[in-house]
Structure 1
Amino acid sequence: MRTTFRGLKKALSALMLLSASLVLAAPVAAQSSIPQSLIDLQDAFRNVAKRVLPSVVEVLSTSVIHQTAPQFPNFPGFPNFPNTPEFRYFFGPNFQQQGPQPKTTEKVEGLGSGIMIRENGSTVYVLTNNHVVHGAQTIQITLNNGRKFEGKIVGTDPRRDLALVSFDAKSEASKIVLAQLGNSNDVQVGDWVLAIGNPLGLDFTVTHGIVSALGRHGGPNKDSMDTYIQTDAPINRGNSGGALVNLEGQVIGINTWIATPNGASVGLGFAIPINEAKVPIDEFIAHGKVTYGWLGALVSNLGETAARELGLANNKGSFIPSIFEGSPAQKAGILPGDFVTSINGAAIKNTDDLVQTIGDLPVGQQATFKLWRDGKELTKTVTIEARAKESLVDKMRLWPGLDVVNIDDTVRSQLDLKKSVQGVVVAQVEPNSTADVAGLKADDVIDKVNGHLVHNLGEFYRWFNSNPNEVNLSFVRQGVHLSIGMSP
């Protein structure tokens, strides 16, 4: 089929008109399909990324581990026996190595993130997590522009999982961009946040999400004093020490850990609030470490039933079952069984709240404690001391060093106690405590204290503290009645 020139000209003209109309219409269609609110949000994300990325760094730590390589006897045809569970199962767990044992050296690298927060001349300070640089022999700081510097640890704080690292920026000093630190007390659930760091070695990655919850406790550090900001912004290994920022480009948290069943992000990330992270910075620079306040007592939370037995209106506060000898608590007259409800006028919600409040108090400060004892509110003034080293605390005598619980239906069933048995049950005895040395054991049923029958926690502590010099306990162990005396 042939096409005439005139027909082709008409067809081309029509096609040109159609194309022109499409070109003119395309921008209008694209514009109308995207809500302005989304464009504004996109612009906000872009602006935050541009502002914060230059203040985030990559932290590469290197440790050298020296260890002895296993060496086993040689048998014909088997010159090198492996140190495997199967091998030890076959030959027995006490199979002895023979001959010289060669030493091996292994270099271990750890990758994390950090934020530049302060400078002094050409010295730049980077805030990161303690676990990112713990045990490092060398530290390398990489800026967003690719420049690398040797880092030095200024100070570490294992309890808060924070560390401060410095480097000499030299000729780059004028180009350093410091992060703007926000106020984490203003953060609310539902706020947009961006997480910036180096997840899985993918440097300077930006992810987004919201604040999922506030005041979370827990995590891999059992001694942690932190409460955490929870976010669903994707965080992975390598993000540790990086920035969690709001839409104003302010750092509101230090990304620290994730909860995950498989090692990858499942939307459960946790960041140290920046207000808590600010606390140790000056101490790092001045002393290289952080000094925490210390009360010198064991503390625990109470259930509602136990709180009622102690004559409390509710269980908001922190219970003190035992006290260290010579501690600030003992010097102030705090006794086992006391229940702390406020410190310096600030309400104490639970044990974590008390531990954090005490830790933040300056050493030497006199703190006012409101507490309940035997149904009455008391005020005690405690002079806060520096937290003792764990090795020293372990050697201090603990009074009395036991936890007791009421006998409810569950306890009665577990211990197979008859209905006629009354008293309180020893739930736990602390090793090397006064109670441990005296011979008390878990599951002992204490029915008398200083000659008085006891039926619940309130009565137990009332009579326990009635004689400041000696406590006599009558208890039942496996059907046998026994008694002991203890002195503080």
Structure 2
Amino acid sequence: MNKKIQKTLLASLVLGATTLTFSSPSYANSILDAITKSNDRQTVSLAPMLEKVKPAVVSIEVEGKTKEQPMQPNLPDEFRFFFGDDFFGNRGERSHKFRGLGSGAIINAEKGYILTNNHVIDKAEKITVLLEDGRKFKAKLVGADPMSDVALIQVENPKNLTEIKFADSDKIRVGDFTVAIGNPFGLGQTVTSGIVSALGRSMGDLDKSYENYIQTDAAVNQGNSGGPLINLQGELIGVNTAIISPSGGNAGIAFAIPSNMAHNLINQIVEFGQVKRGMLGIKGGELNADLAKEFGVDAQQGAFVSEVLPNSAAEKAGIKAGDVIVKMNGKKIANFNEMRAKIATSGAGKEIELTYLRNNESKTVKVKLQSSDENAQIGSQDLLPELKGAKLSNHSEGSTKGVEVTEVAKGSMAELRGLEKGDIIIGVNRQAVKNVGELRKIIEKKPAVIALHILREDTNLFIIIQ
């Protein structure tokens, strides 16, 4: 191609009667790099880039069992307590085998690490990875984070693998080109393309997940989950995870977890074996025109701070209720959900930089994130149905550490079992418990007998649950 044509393409790319104009020379150069010669005419093709990336994309097959609870009478918990669980047929639960398909991307060829979605491998007892060249590997789960739907698996005896590089997802813009690669409907490796339709999207129950999705119109279907969303340089910008569709098929609205968010979580899983969430210690919501006017804020987007928790990282940094956080690490914050997801996935102990507006003045502070209290307050039925009606939270006042019973509903199972407001659970089956997370780990092992060691004022007692 001569230099005159190259200069023209830096400004625009002409395809027949259609002209695509680029605001960024880097994207024009990416298109230039994709141009190949075929039958003595120039043809735009992503094939050269895909030939390098496709070997890093895998199909994932899973097998496992799921339990199905039998139908039970709709009786109040008080009556269930007297009859006992066995009366309602809990011993009659049935196991059903399941098989599933998904996709993933190799992010470390030497160690055989593969990034995918948690929902792809959830409850899987057997994981098989299929490469583009036909090779199959057995894989094991390294770690997962259900609340962000990210998982890391590792193939056994990795050899001659190709890995994909991470891009900085904070740099992508609406209108950037995207390419999705995956295994839709088990057809085999499939490539689709589109653009970034929106950023900072959320869907579903935000109390149970951290969502800050990239929206794209690249075709994504069942089986694409966990597969990579890449840019024209062949770099990972996101992990395809969900779609919105009335029919269940592609409707041009797909969502991907940003690569920076996934990268942070995977690094924590590799280093700590789990995700250690960061906590800023604020409550808030979206900034709207009325709030901006009321608080004298000259901004259209950001995270409005309605409350700052005592002794939190935010309070120590000087953030106050009424402030509007507009940037994190120099990048604009579109809404509260985006900031919440970025902070939660940054990791406990990490230092971040926040820019906020107060009285229409901009201030920038550095904040060291604390450990998240996402497990600090939960309903006890999430741990034990027999204790339904109580709320539990971490207790760390003075030298006593444990799990405090902050609320007991009148007439509930928790009250019938003997729990009282103010009780502090300091141990289970002679194992010390310092927080909700430790209590959860012990109970998830499903011991035959659960003996809660309770500190009630100055009295030690045990509550036995069988």
TM-score normalised by L of structure 1: 0.59
Cα distance in 2 for residues equivalent to 1:42 and 1:379: 49
Q: Which runs of 5+ in 2 are unaligned?
A: 1-15, 19-34, 75-85, 379-390, 395-405, 408-466
Alignment of 1:217 onto 2:201: yes
Look up the SS of the partner of 1:329 in the other structure.
Answer: helix
Q: Give the AA of the match of 2:101.
A: L
Secondary structure at 1:390 match in 2: coil
1:221 CA displacement: 6.0
Bigger Cα Rg: 1
- Whether the 8 Å CA contact 2:68–2:95 is kept in 1: the answer is yes
Name the count of aligned residue pairs: 339
Range moving further from structure 2, 332-341 or 232-241: 332-341
Which of 339, 344, 351 aligns to 1:359? It is 344
1:110 equivalenced with 2:100 (yes/no)? yes
Distance 2:303 2:275 in 1: 25
> Which residue of structure 2 lines up, in the alignment, with residue 14 of structure 1?
none
Inter-partner Cα distance in structure 2 for 1:99 and 1:319: 50
Following superposition, the deviation at residue 220 of structure 1 comes to 4.0
Task: Label 1:202 to 1:102 Cα distance change in 2 as closer, same or farther (>3 A).
Answer: same
Q: Deviations over 1:241-274 (max 9, x none)?
A: 1122334433332211111111010111222233
Distance 1:326 1:317 in 2: 24
Of 264-273 and 109-118, more deviation after overlay is shown by 264-273
Query: Contact 1:189 / 1:210 at 8 angstroms: preserved in 2?
Result: no
Q: Kindly provide the amino acid, as one letter, of the partner of residue 109 in structure 2.
A: E
- The residue number in structure 1 matching 2:426 is none
Q: Report the CA distance shift for 1:111/1:46 in structure 2 as closer, same or farther (over 3 A).
A: same
Matches of 1:379 and 1:247 in 2, distance apart? 34
1:381 Cα offset (Å): 6.3
Q: Do the aligned residues in 2 keep the contact of 1:62 with 1:137 (CA within 8 Å)?
A: yes
What is aligned with 1:411?
Answer: none
Partner of 1:51: 52
In structure 2, the residue matched to 1:384 is 369
Counterparts of 1:166 and 1:99, CA distance in 2: 39
> Within 5 Å, which residues of 2 pair with 1:464-475?
none
Q: CA deviation at 1:148?
A: 2.3
Q: Which residue of 1 aligns with 2:130?
A: 142
TM-score of the aligned structures, taking structure 2 as reference length: 0.62
* In structure 1, distance between residues paired with 2:236 and 2:130: 19
Deviation at 1:106, TM superposition (A): 0.5
Secondary structure (helix, strand or coil) at the match of 1:50 reads helix
Distance 1:99 1:283 in 2: 41
Q: In structure 1, what residue type is equivalent to 2:373?
A: A
How far residue 297 of structure 1 moved from its aligned partner, in angstroms, is: 1.9
Residue type of the partner of 2:312? S
- C-alpha change, 1:334 and 1:233, in structure 2 (3 Å) is closer
In 2, the alpha carbon distance for the partners of 1:328 and 1:204 equals 45
Match of 1:252 among 237, 244, 248: 237
- For residues 228 and 194 of structure 1, the distance between their equivalents in structure 2, rounded to whole angstroms, comes to 16
Quote the Cα distance in structure 1 between the aligned partners of 2:274 and 2:127: 19
Specify the alignment match of 2:145 in structure 1: 157
Structure 1: runs of 5+ lacking an equivalent: 1-32, 73-82, 84-95, 398-431, 434-488
State the identity %: 32
CA contact (8 A) 1:71 1:97 kept: no
- Conserved? CA contact 2:62–2:127, under 8 Å: yes
Distance 1:204 1:348, change over 3 A: closer
SS of structure 1 residue aligned to 2:45? helix
Output the aligned Cα RMSD.
Answer: 3.9
Match of 1:168 among 156, 163, 168: 156
Aligned residue number for residue 458 of structure 1: none
